[in-house]
Amino acid sequence: MQDFLDQAAENPNATDVESENGKVVSVKFNLNDDDLKETELTMTNYWEKFDALCQSVLNKDEQDLHYSLKGAQQYANGLTDGWHDFLNEFEKVIKEYKLSNEDNNVAQSLISTLKESLAR
């Protein structure tokens, strides 16, 4: 997790980096997405949004999609390679299943946020 936040802090789109005891704890970005002009990126926040997406598809009785998203999440082990594996699997799942417009927007914003932080 810390590796993810450290990389996010070095992103040129990062506008506000907060540290405690020499460790990055949050990063704010200005994004192009109208719904997310400024969003606080923390691992808790990221996973809260991801879990909300999973719950949304589960509420729509899309169990296979839910389990596929949760399966993709298992790749995120805190290492950079794990984040890339998670991203690849997350994108694969999103392409494989039909999502509502709202769920697709959430998924795309999560993917964009992660891509920006890993693009170093």
Round to whole Å and give the CA distance between 15 and 1. Answer: 20
Three-class secondary structure of residue 41 per DSSP: strand
Q: Enumerate the β-bridge partners of residue 4.
A: none
Q: pLDDT tens for the chain, 120 residues: list them.
A: 556 566 666 666 666 667 777 776 666 655 454 444 444 555 568 888 999 999 999 999 999 999 999 999 999 887 888 899 999 999 999 999 999 999 999 999 999 888 887 876
Number of domains in the chain: 1
pLDDT value of position 36? 45
Range of the domain at 31: 2-118
pLDDT value of position 64? 96
pTM (two decimals): 0.64
